[in-house]
Structure 1
Amino acid sequence: MDPFVRSLLSSTPLTSEQELALARRARDGDARARHDLITSGLRSVALRARLLGIRDDDLADAVQSGAVGLIRAVDRFDPERGVRLATYAWHWVGAEMVGRHRPEVPLDDVDPAVDDEPRDDSSALDELLHSLPPDELELLRLRFGVGCPGAIRLSRQSVGERLGLTISQVRTVEAKAMRQLRRGLANVVHRAPHQ
Protein backbone atom coordinates (compact mmCIF):
# COMPACT_ATOMS: atom_id res chain seq x y z
CA MET A 1 0.00 0.00 0.00
CA ASP A 2 1.14 3.52 -0.73
CA PRO A 3 2.95 4.98 2.34
CA PHE A 4 0.94 8.21 2.15
CA VAL A 5 -2.36 6.33 2.16
CA ARG A 6 -1.12 4.10 4.99
CA SER A 7 -0.27 7.21 7.04
CA LEU A 8 -3.76 8.64 6.38
CA LEU A 9 -5.45 5.44 7.53
CA SER A 10 -3.40 5.35 10.73
CA SER A 11 -4.03 9.02 11.60
CA THR A 12 -6.21 9.87 14.59
CA PRO A 13 -9.58 11.41 13.68
CA LEU A 14 -10.74 14.66 15.27
CA THR A 15 -13.22 14.51 18.09
CA SER A 16 -16.64 15.98 17.34
CA GLU A 17 -15.81 18.98 19.56
CA GLN A 18 -12.53 19.65 17.74
CA GLU A 19 -14.24 19.31 14.37
CA LEU A 20 -17.07 21.64 15.40
CA ALA A 21 -14.63 24.33 16.57
CA LEU A 22 -12.55 24.08 13.39
CA ALA A 23 -15.64 24.10 11.16
CA ARG A 24 -16.99 27.23 12.83
CA ARG A 25 -13.65 28.99 12.43
CA ALA A 26 -13.36 27.85 8.80
CA ARG A 27 -16.86 29.12 8.08
CA ASP A 28 -15.81 32.48 9.47
CA GLY A 29 -12.87 32.64 7.05
CA ASP A 30 -10.00 31.08 9.03
CA ALA A 31 -7.81 29.52 6.31
CA ARG A 32 -5.76 27.51 8.83
CA ALA A 33 -8.91 25.93 10.30
CA ARG A 34 -10.10 25.04 6.78
CA HIS A 35 -6.71 23.45 6.04
CA ASP A 36 -6.85 21.44 9.28
CA LEU A 37 -10.39 20.20 8.46
CA ILE A 38 -9.28 19.08 5.01
CA THR A 39 -6.14 17.41 6.34
CA SER A 40 -8.02 15.52 9.04
CA GLY A 41 -10.76 14.56 6.55
CA LEU A 42 -8.27 12.79 4.28
CA ARG A 43 -8.49 9.75 6.56
CA SER A 44 -12.13 9.23 5.57
CA VAL A 45 -11.16 9.77 1.92
CA ALA A 46 -8.66 6.91 2.17
CA LEU A 47 -11.24 4.74 3.91
CA ARG A 48 -13.78 5.42 1.16
CA ALA A 49 -11.26 4.44 -1.52
CA ARG A 50 -10.57 1.16 0.27
CA LEU A 51 -14.29 0.45 0.69
CA LEU A 52 -14.81 1.03 -3.03
CA GLY A 53 -12.24 -1.68 -3.67
CA ILE A 54 -9.63 0.60 -5.20
CA ARG A 55 -6.19 -0.93 -4.68
CA ASP A 56 -2.54 -0.78 -5.65
CA ASP A 57 -1.40 2.02 -7.95
CA ASP A 58 -4.91 3.45 -8.32
CA LEU A 59 -5.32 3.98 -4.58
CA ALA A 60 -3.21 7.14 -4.31
CA ASP A 61 -4.89 8.59 -7.41
CA ALA A 62 -8.32 7.81 -5.97
CA VAL A 63 -7.42 9.54 -2.70
CA GLN A 64 -6.29 12.57 -4.69
CA SER A 65 -9.60 12.61 -6.59
CA GLY A 66 -11.54 12.11 -3.38
CA ALA A 67 -9.68 15.05 -1.84
CA VAL A 68 -11.30 17.28 -4.46
CA GLY A 69 -14.72 16.12 -3.25
CA LEU A 70 -13.63 16.61 0.36
CA ILE A 71 -12.59 20.21 -0.33
CA ARG A 72 -15.97 20.90 -1.93
CA ALA A 73 -17.70 19.38 1.08
CA VAL A 74 -15.61 21.39 3.57
CA ASP A 75 -16.50 24.60 1.74
CA ARG A 76 -20.23 23.78 1.95
CA PHE A 77 -20.25 22.18 5.40
CA ASP A 78 -22.56 23.70 8.01
CA PRO A 79 -21.31 22.72 11.48
CA GLU A 80 -24.62 23.66 13.09
CA ARG A 81 -26.56 20.85 11.35
CA GLY A 82 -25.35 18.25 13.87
CA VAL A 83 -23.66 16.05 11.26
CA ARG A 84 -20.01 15.04 11.23
CA LEU A 85 -17.89 16.21 8.29
CA ALA A 86 -17.05 12.65 7.22
CA THR A 87 -20.76 11.83 6.95
CA TYR A 88 -21.52 15.00 5.00
CA ALA A 89 -18.51 14.57 2.70
CA TRP A 90 -19.09 10.85 2.01
CA HIS A 91 -21.18 11.47 -1.14
CA TRP A 92 -18.88 14.18 -2.51
CA VAL A 93 -15.77 12.04 -2.00
CA GLY A 94 -17.31 8.93 -3.53
CA ALA A 95 -18.66 10.80 -6.53
CA GLU A 96 -15.20 12.12 -7.39
CA MET A 97 -13.59 8.70 -6.98
CA VAL A 98 -16.17 6.70 -8.90
CA GLY A 99 -16.26 9.24 -11.71
CA ARG A 100 -12.53 8.93 -12.27
CA HIS A 101 -11.63 5.44 -11.05
CA ARG A 102 -14.34 3.09 -12.18
CA PRO A 103 -12.78 -0.37 -12.43
CA GLU A 104 -12.88 -1.85 -15.91
CA VAL A 105 -13.75 -5.50 -16.44
CA PRO A 106 -12.18 -7.03 -19.53
CA LEU A 107 -14.84 -8.43 -21.84
CA ASP A 108 -12.92 -11.72 -22.06
CA ASP A 109 -13.68 -12.34 -18.37
CA VAL A 110 -17.45 -11.88 -18.73
CA ASP A 111 -19.54 -14.94 -19.46
CA PRO A 112 -22.50 -13.95 -21.58
CA ALA A 113 -25.81 -14.80 -19.99
CA VAL A 114 -27.61 -17.51 -21.89
CA ASP A 115 -31.35 -17.26 -21.56
CA ASP A 116 -33.26 -20.04 -23.30
CA GLU A 117 -36.64 -18.62 -22.38
CA PRO A 118 -37.26 -14.92 -21.95
CA ARG A 119 -38.64 -14.15 -18.50
CA ASP A 120 -40.98 -11.34 -17.61
CA ASP A 121 -39.74 -9.97 -14.28
CA SER A 122 -42.04 -6.96 -14.38
CA SER A 123 -44.55 -8.68 -12.08
CA ALA A 124 -41.84 -9.20 -9.46
CA LEU A 125 -40.86 -5.53 -9.74
CA ASP A 126 -44.48 -4.41 -9.50
CA GLU A 127 -44.91 -6.58 -6.42
CA LEU A 128 -41.81 -5.01 -4.84
CA LEU A 129 -42.97 -1.50 -5.67
CA HIS A 130 -46.39 -2.06 -4.15
CA SER A 131 -44.80 -3.45 -0.99
CA LEU A 132 -43.42 0.04 -0.33
CA PRO A 133 -45.38 2.46 1.84
CA PRO A 134 -47.49 4.80 -0.33
CA ASP A 135 -45.41 7.90 0.49
CA GLU A 136 -42.17 6.16 -0.55
CA LEU A 137 -43.75 4.83 -3.74
CA GLU A 138 -45.05 8.31 -4.65
CA LEU A 139 -41.61 9.81 -4.01
CA LEU A 140 -39.95 7.23 -6.31
CA ARG A 141 -42.56 7.85 -8.99
CA LEU A 142 -41.88 11.58 -8.93
CA ARG A 143 -38.12 11.24 -8.57
CA PHE A 144 -37.41 8.46 -11.11
CA GLY A 145 -40.63 7.94 -13.04
CA VAL A 146 -40.93 4.44 -11.55
CA GLY A 147 -44.01 2.69 -12.87
CA CYS A 148 -44.83 5.59 -15.21
CA PRO A 149 -43.16 5.13 -18.62
CA GLY A 150 -42.32 8.46 -20.20
CA ALA A 151 -42.73 10.37 -16.93
CA ILE A 152 -40.56 13.41 -16.32
CA ARG A 153 -38.01 12.74 -13.59
CA LEU A 154 -37.91 15.49 -11.00
CA SER A 155 -35.03 16.81 -8.92
CA ARG A 156 -35.02 16.28 -5.16
CA GLN A 157 -35.89 19.94 -4.72
CA SER A 158 -38.94 19.67 -7.03
CA VAL A 159 -40.08 16.47 -5.32
CA GLY A 160 -39.68 18.15 -1.94
CA GLU A 161 -41.77 21.11 -3.06
CA ARG A 162 -44.56 18.82 -4.29
CA LEU A 163 -44.59 16.64 -1.18
CA GLY A 164 -43.85 19.34 1.39
CA LEU A 165 -40.45 17.89 2.35
CA THR A 166 -36.96 19.30 2.62
CA ILE A 167 -34.27 18.08 0.22
CA SER A 168 -32.69 16.19 3.12
CA GLN A 169 -35.99 14.46 3.90
CA VAL A 170 -36.42 13.53 0.23
CA ARG A 171 -32.89 12.07 0.19
CA THR A 172 -33.60 10.07 3.37
CA VAL A 173 -36.92 8.63 2.17
CA GLU A 174 -35.41 7.89 -1.25
CA ALA A 175 -32.48 6.02 0.33
CA LYS A 176 -34.79 4.01 2.58
CA ALA A 177 -37.03 3.00 -0.34
CA MET A 178 -34.05 2.10 -2.53
CA ARG A 179 -32.57 -0.09 0.25
CA GLN A 180 -35.88 -1.95 0.54
CA LEU A 181 -36.04 -2.43 -3.23
CA ARG A 182 -32.45 -3.70 -3.34
CA ARG A 183 -33.16 -6.22 -0.62
CA GLY A 184 -36.29 -7.35 -2.43
CA LEU A 185 -34.49 -7.63 -5.76
CA ALA A 186 -31.71 -9.63 -4.13
CA ASN A 187 -34.35 -12.09 -2.91
CA VAL A 188 -35.85 -12.30 -6.40
CA VAL A 189 -32.43 -13.02 -7.90
CA HIS A 190 -31.75 -15.77 -5.34
CA ARG A 191 -35.09 -17.42 -6.18
CA ALA A 192 -34.43 -17.32 -9.94
CA PRO A 193 -33.44 -20.63 -11.58
CA HIS A 194 -29.73 -20.98 -12.23
CA GLN A 195 -28.72 -21.00 -15.88
Structure 2
Amino acid sequence: MGFGKPIPLTMEQIKTEVVDRFVFAAKFAREHGFDGVQIHAAHGYLLSGFMSPTTNNRTDRYGGSPHSRMRLILEIFQNIRKEIPASTGFLVGIKTNSVEFQENGLGIDDAMIMCRMMERCGFDFAELSGGNIEKPAFQHMRESTRKREAFFLEFAEKIRPVFEKTVVYLTGGFRTAPAMVSAIFDG
Protein backbone atom coordinates (compact mmCIF):
# COMPACT_ATOMS: atom_id res chain seq x y z
CA MET A 1 0.00 0.00 0.00
CA GLY A 2 1.42 3.41 -0.93
CA PHE A 3 1.03 6.46 1.22
CA GLY A 4 1.26 10.09 0.17
CA LYS A 5 4.04 12.32 1.47
CA PRO A 6 2.82 14.03 4.64
CA ILE A 7 2.81 17.80 4.79
CA PRO A 8 3.21 19.35 8.26
CA LEU A 9 0.16 21.23 9.49
CA THR A 10 0.62 24.92 10.25
CA MET A 11 -0.27 26.23 13.71
CA GLU A 12 -3.43 27.74 12.23
CA GLN A 13 -4.40 24.42 10.64
CA ILE A 14 -3.85 22.60 13.94
CA LYS A 15 -6.34 24.98 15.55
CA THR A 16 -8.95 25.23 12.80
CA GLU A 17 -8.69 21.87 11.04
CA VAL A 18 -7.99 19.63 14.02
CA VAL A 19 -8.89 21.10 17.42
CA ASP A 20 -11.97 23.02 16.28
CA ARG A 21 -13.27 20.04 14.28
CA PHE A 22 -12.96 17.66 17.24
CA VAL A 23 -14.85 20.19 19.36
CA PHE A 24 -17.52 20.52 16.65
CA ALA A 25 -17.88 16.73 16.46
CA ALA A 26 -18.26 16.41 20.24
CA LYS A 27 -20.89 19.17 20.34
CA PHE A 28 -22.72 17.57 17.42
CA ALA A 29 -22.70 14.18 19.15
CA ARG A 30 -24.07 15.66 22.37
CA GLU A 31 -26.76 17.68 20.57
CA HIS A 32 -27.90 14.49 18.84
CA GLY A 33 -28.26 12.37 21.95
CA PHE A 34 -24.91 10.70 22.40
CA ASP A 35 -23.55 10.23 25.92
CA GLY A 36 -19.94 10.89 24.98
CA VAL A 37 -17.16 10.64 22.45
CA GLN A 38 -13.91 8.76 22.14
CA ILE A 39 -10.90 10.54 20.66
CA HIS A 40 -9.05 8.06 18.44
CA ALA A 41 -5.33 8.54 19.08
CA ALA A 42 -4.08 5.07 18.12
CA HIS A 43 -3.05 2.92 15.17
CA GLY A 44 -1.04 5.52 13.26
CA TYR A 45 -3.90 7.88 12.48
CA LEU A 46 -3.47 11.65 12.82
CA LEU A 47 -3.38 12.05 16.60
CA SER A 48 -1.32 8.91 17.02
CA GLY A 49 1.11 10.40 14.53
CA PHE A 50 1.55 13.40 16.80
CA MET A 51 2.21 11.10 19.77
CA SER A 52 4.74 8.88 17.98
CA PRO A 53 8.47 9.65 18.06
CA THR A 54 8.86 8.00 14.64
CA THR A 55 6.30 10.10 12.78
CA ASN A 56 6.36 13.35 14.73
CA ASN A 57 9.41 15.25 13.48
CA ARG A 58 8.06 18.65 14.46
CA THR A 59 10.43 21.17 16.03
CA ASP A 60 7.71 23.44 17.42
CA ARG A 61 5.66 23.06 20.60
CA TYR A 62 4.01 19.88 19.24
CA GLY A 63 7.22 17.88 18.74
CA GLY A 64 10.08 16.50 20.78
CA SER A 65 9.37 15.29 24.30
CA PRO A 66 6.43 13.05 25.20
CA HIS A 67 4.82 16.10 26.86
CA SER A 68 5.08 18.15 23.68
CA ARG A 69 3.90 15.30 21.45
CA MET A 70 0.85 14.94 23.73
CA ARG A 71 -0.01 18.66 23.60
CA LEU A 72 -2.50 18.43 20.71
CA ILE A 73 -4.55 15.73 22.44
CA LEU A 74 -4.68 17.81 25.63
CA GLU A 75 -5.74 20.90 23.67
CA ILE A 76 -8.54 18.93 22.02
CA PHE A 77 -9.74 17.61 25.38
CA GLN A 78 -9.55 21.01 27.10
CA ASN A 79 -11.42 22.73 24.27
CA ILE A 80 -14.15 20.09 24.30
CA ARG A 81 -14.49 20.57 28.06
CA LYS A 82 -14.76 24.36 27.62
CA GLU A 83 -17.83 23.77 25.45
CA ILE A 84 -19.19 20.70 27.27
CA PRO A 85 -18.19 20.69 30.95
CA ALA A 86 -17.81 17.40 32.80
CA SER A 87 -20.73 18.49 35.00
CA THR A 88 -23.05 17.81 32.04
CA GLY A 89 -22.28 14.09 32.34
CA PHE A 90 -21.02 13.96 28.75
CA LEU A 91 -18.06 11.55 28.62
CA VAL A 92 -14.80 12.20 26.81
CA GLY A 93 -12.51 9.22 26.39
CA ILE A 94 -9.49 8.30 24.35
CA LYS A 95 -8.22 5.29 22.44
CA THR A 96 -4.43 5.22 22.65
CA ASN A 97 -1.52 2.95 21.88
CA SER A 98 0.26 1.16 24.67
CA VAL A 99 3.00 0.26 22.18
CA GLU A 100 3.59 0.71 18.43
CA PHE A 101 5.64 -2.42 17.64
CA GLN A 102 8.13 -0.60 15.44
CA GLU A 103 11.75 0.36 15.91
CA ASN A 104 12.05 3.63 17.86
CA GLY A 105 8.26 3.83 17.98
CA LEU A 106 6.07 4.65 20.93
CA GLY A 107 7.10 2.34 23.75
CA ILE A 108 5.84 1.59 27.20
CA ASP A 109 7.83 4.39 28.91
CA ASP A 110 6.44 7.16 26.69
CA ALA A 111 2.98 5.57 26.80
CA MET A 112 3.06 5.68 30.61
CA ILE A 113 4.07 9.36 30.61
CA MET A 114 1.28 10.19 28.17
CA CYS A 115 -1.29 8.16 30.10
CA ARG A 116 -0.35 10.04 33.29
CA MET A 117 -1.09 13.24 31.38
CA MET A 118 -4.46 11.82 30.28
CA GLU A 119 -5.28 11.01 33.90
CA ARG A 120 -4.31 14.49 35.14
CA CYS A 121 -6.24 16.12 32.30
CA GLY A 122 -9.44 14.34 33.30
CA PHE A 123 -10.30 11.88 30.56
CA ASP A 124 -13.28 9.78 31.63
CA PHE A 125 -11.96 6.60 30.06
CA ALA A 126 -8.95 5.31 28.16
CA GLU A 127 -8.92 2.33 25.81
CA LEU A 128 -5.46 0.78 25.48
CA SER A 129 -4.55 -0.71 22.12
CA GLY A 130 -1.43 -0.98 19.98
CA GLY A 131 0.15 -1.09 16.55
CA ASN A 132 -0.30 1.28 13.64
CA ILE A 133 -1.74 1.33 10.16
CA GLU A 134 1.59 0.33 8.60
CA LYS A 135 2.19 -2.48 11.10
CA PRO A 136 -1.00 -3.56 12.84
CA ALA A 137 -0.43 -5.24 16.19
CA PHE A 138 -1.25 -8.70 14.90
CA GLN A 139 1.38 -8.59 12.11
CA HIS A 140 4.34 -8.65 14.50
CA MET A 141 3.11 -11.76 16.29
CA ARG A 142 4.10 -15.35 16.07
CA GLU A 143 1.24 -17.79 15.60
CA SER A 144 1.45 -18.80 19.27
CA THR A 145 0.92 -15.17 20.29
CA ARG A 146 -2.09 -14.81 17.99
CA LYS A 147 -3.69 -17.82 19.65
CA ARG A 148 -3.06 -16.36 23.10
CA GLU A 149 -5.74 -14.08 24.41
CA ALA A 150 -5.43 -10.42 25.38
CA PHE A 151 -2.18 -9.63 23.61
CA PHE A 152 -2.01 -6.06 25.03
CA LEU A 153 -2.56 -7.23 28.60
CA GLU A 154 1.14 -7.21 29.51
CA PHE A 155 1.38 -3.54 28.48
CA ALA A 156 -1.89 -2.63 30.17
CA GLU A 157 -0.68 -4.18 33.43
CA LYS A 158 2.26 -1.76 33.41
CA ILE A 159 0.21 1.28 32.40
CA ARG A 160 -2.91 0.68 34.51
CA PRO A 161 -1.41 1.94 37.81
CA VAL A 162 -1.01 5.49 36.43
CA PHE A 163 -4.80 5.79 36.20
CA GLU A 164 -6.61 6.56 39.44
CA LYS A 165 -9.94 8.02 38.28
CA THR A 166 -9.89 7.29 34.56
CA VAL A 167 -11.65 4.04 33.66
CA VAL A 168 -9.36 1.80 31.61
CA TYR A 169 -10.49 -0.51 28.81
CA LEU A 170 -8.34 -3.03 27.01
CA THR A 171 -8.68 -4.27 23.46
CA GLY A 172 -6.85 -6.91 21.49
CA GLY A 173 -7.53 -10.59 21.27
CA PHE A 174 -10.10 -11.38 23.92
CA ARG A 175 -11.97 -14.46 22.77
CA THR A 176 -13.44 -16.10 25.85
CA ALA A 177 -15.50 -14.96 28.81
CA PRO A 178 -13.03 -16.43 31.36
CA ALA A 179 -10.17 -14.35 29.92
CA MET A 180 -12.33 -11.22 30.04
CA VAL A 181 -13.42 -11.90 33.61
CA SER A 182 -9.81 -12.57 34.62
CA ALA A 183 -8.65 -9.27 33.11
CA ILE A 184 -11.36 -7.40 35.02
CA PHE A 185 -10.69 -9.02 38.37
CA ASP A 186 -6.92 -8.83 38.01
CA GLY A 187 -7.21 -5.07 37.49
TM-score, length-normalised on structure 1? 0.27
Higher normalized contact order (CA 8 Å, seq sep 6+, divided by chain length): 2
Instruction: Report the structure number with the largest CA radius of gyration.
Output: 1
Which has more strand, going by share of residues? 2
TM-score, length-normalised on structure 2? 0.27
Which has more helix, going by share of residues? 1
